[in-house]
Amino acid sequence: MTRIQYQECIDACIKTMNTCNYSYVSSLKEYHLEELRESIRLDRECADICSFAIQAMTRQSPFVVQILRLCADICEACADESSKHVHRHCRSCIEACRECAAACRMISETVEVYA
Amino acid sequence: MTRIQYQECIDACIKTMNTCNYSYVSSLKEYHLEELRESIRLDRECADICSFAIQAMTRQSPFVVQILRLCADICEACADESSKHVHRHCRSCIEACRECAAACRMISETVEVYA
Amino acid sequence: MTRIQYQECIDACIKTMNTCNYSYVSSLKEYHLEELRESIRLDRECADICSFAIQAMTRQSPFVVQILRLCADICEACADESSKHVHRHCRSCIEACRECAAACRMISETVEVYA
Amino acid sequence: MTRIQYQECIDACIKTMNTCNYSYVSSLKEYHLEELRESIRLDRECADICSFAIQAMTRQSPFVVQILRLCADICEACADESSKHVHRHCRSCIEACRECAAACRMISETVEVYA
């Protein structure tokens, strides 16, 4: 697995971090804020693991497979939570998170685990 | 699992981040630097996941179990690598990393996974 | 400046990260959530810079002075925002943030800037 | 300042994080490792602040100006250190870091500081 091959996954993680952080900020401005408690929390979780995964891929971490599996899990949880809401920023999260989860799983299934 | 119950694991992660970052800086000053290439790399990996785990525990992340499992794996790899070297800062890493891995596994085996 | 001398500041940053993240989680559970929008946002900001500062101190970053000045600024902003609210977790933030800002300023005024 | 306007700076930070982490990994594999001690250290510093700055911009941090000033300082220090070395990965760092510093300074001079 070379730097080039990671690029698609890095891009997906950047897009998801961006989308989740935008949804986080937007949610905190919504009128019916009380419906978005869990969404705000998961947006931050998802942005944080995406940020961590991006760094890990660019420094060729020996643990990139395990980190991307975790990233995929959190992206899927964030997509599920976002799908309960009708706001446009929540809908954007669903798409970005699902694509990112798929990109993470593709790499984590084709690279051998560090041992 | 309350804030109090996490405290021991948070303390172990802080100690390990500190010890690994100290070993990282010390390794970069060693005369026989070329023997420490992998050690330097794993010290950074370990410090980074410990830092991430500390944040995750203090913000009561729903993914704390998975994050602590990953932290335990990386701590064990860092301890294994450190055990190949005789420098005092490497010996300190072995002890801190093994204790931290044990503390992470204890929590990750007693808390239910977010689903 | 040695590892020992940083320890007080590291401890203050850890306490503040912990207190701000606890206030973040607690705020998201409050009934009158809409009053805490800015507080939630600053709690995350403050926890994130404290986490960054802790890592920087433990890896003996050449930029520790500038990082601690930034950390002090953010801690003070978080303390100011927290002081608008009566919740116990907000009151805890005021104290932790002010102490942390003072600890950061003490180091940043006694250490020379990297040049 | 909108999300669109930050995009160029976010892209510059991503490129620099990527380039510095690649140089970090490549330096650790070089034969004359002992000449690259400071370069390895600054590559990590630079990647870490870039990662922090990216997150801060995407979450619309109220402290983005101060964070980008710090990022610019560290990018310039990393470019200066990289310019002492002839390796191709070091030359790439010079260019990425200088462009990133310029992008950070452009935003930090046109946005008002949070007060």
Q: Is the pLDDT of residue C62 over 80?
A: yes
Inter-chain residue contact C33 with A29, CB threshold 8 Å: no
Question: Is some CB atom of chain A closer than 8 A to the CB atom of D51?
Answer: yes
**pLDDT tens string C82-93:** 999 999 999 999
Q: Do D79 and D43 contact (CB within 8 A), yes or no?
A: no
Quick check: is A93 in a domain?
A: yes
Quick check: is A29 in a domain?
A: yes
If pLDDT is split at 50, 70 and 90, which confidence band does C109 have?
confident
Give the chains touching B; criterion: ≥3 Cβ pairs < 8 Å. Answer: A, C, D
With CA atoms as reference, the chain C residue closest to A40 would be C28
Inter-chain residue contact C48 with D67, CB threshold 8 Å: no
Quick check: is A115 in a domain?
A: no
Distance CA(A3)–CA(A11), nearest Å, equals 12
Distance CA(C99)–CA(B108), nearest Å, equals 33
Q: Is D29 exposed, middle or buried (0-12, 13-18, 19+ CB in 10 A)?
A: exposed
B112–chain D nearest CA distance, Å: 30
Inter-chain residue contact A44 with C40, CB threshold 8 Å: no
| Interval C51-69 mean pLDDT | 97
Using alpha carbons only, give the angle C48, B100, B106 rounded to the nearest 5 degrees: 105
Q: What is the mean pLDDT of chain A?
A: 93
Q: What is the DSSP letter of D33?
A: G
Question: Is some CB atom of chain C closer than 8 A to the CB atom of B58?
Answer: yes
CATH code of the domain covering residue D17: 1.20.1270.360
If pLDDT is split at 50, 70 and 90, which confidence band does C35 have?
very high
Quick check: is A102 in a domain?
A: yes
| Interval D52-64 mean pLDDT | 97
User: What is the extent of the structural domain holding C41?
Assistant: 3-110
Q: Do B107 and B19 contact (CB within 8 A), yes or no?
A: no
Question: Which of B28, B37, B44 is the closest to D37 by Cβ?
Answer: B28
Work out how many domains chain A is built from and give that number: 1
Lowest mean pLDDT among C18-27, C44-53, C103-112: C103-112
Distance CA(A10)–CA(A16), nearest Å, equals 10
**pLDDT tens string D66-114:** 999 999 999 999 999 999 999 999 999 999 999 999 999 999 888 766 5
Question: Is some CB atom of chain B closer than 8 A to the CB atom of C22?
Answer: yes
| Interval C25-50 mean pLDDT | 97
Question: Which of C45, C63, C77 is the closest to D45 by Cβ?
Answer: C63
Inter-chain residue contact D34 with B29, CB threshold 8 Å: no
Question: Residue B4: what pLDDT?
Answer: 56
Quick check: is A32 in a domain?
A: yes
Residue type, B26: S
Q: In D, which residues are within 8 Å of A17 by CB distance?
A: 54-55, 58
Question: Is some CB atom of chain B closer than 8 A to the CB atom of D32?
Answer: no
Question: Is some CB atom of chain C closer than 8 A to the CB atom of A17?
Answer: no
Question: Residue D1: what pLDDT?
Answer: 47
Question: Is some CB atom of chain D closer than 8 A to the CB atom of C66?
Answer: yes
Question: Is some CB atom of chain B closer than 8 A to the CB atom of A51?
Answer: no
Quick check: is A23 in a domain?
A: yes
Question: Is some CB atom of chain B closer than 8 A to the CB atom of A91?
Answer: no
Question: Residue D110: what pLDDT?
Answer: 82
Question: Which of D47, D51, D59 is the closest to A21 by Cβ?
Answer: D59
Question: Which of C3, C22, C59 is the closest to B58 by Cβ?
Answer: C22
Inter-chain residue contact D17 with A51, CB threshold 8 Å: no
Quick check: is B115 in a domain?
A: no
Question: Residue C1: what pLDDT?
Answer: 47
**pLDDT tens string A61-83:** 999 999 999 999 999 999 999 99
Distance CA(C12)–CA(C54), nearest Å, equals 9
Among the listed residues A30, A46, A33, the one whose alpha carbon sits nearest the alpha carbon of residue A81: A46
Inter-chain residue contact A33 with C34, CB threshold 8 Å: yes
Quick check: is D57 in a domain?
A: yes
Q: Is the pLDDT of residue C81 over 70?
A: yes
Inter-chain residue contact D66 with C73, CB threshold 8 Å: yes
With CA atoms as reference, the chain B residue closest to D27 would be B37
Question: Is some CB atom of chain B closer than 8 A to the CB atom of C3?
Answer: yes
Q: Is the ipTM of this complex over 0.90?
A: yes
Q: What angle, rounded to 10 degrees, do the helices at A3-27 and D3-27 form?
A: 140
Q: Could you tell me the mean pLDDT of each successive run of 10 residues in chain B, 115 residues long?
A: 74 97 97 96 98 97 97 98 96 97 92 60
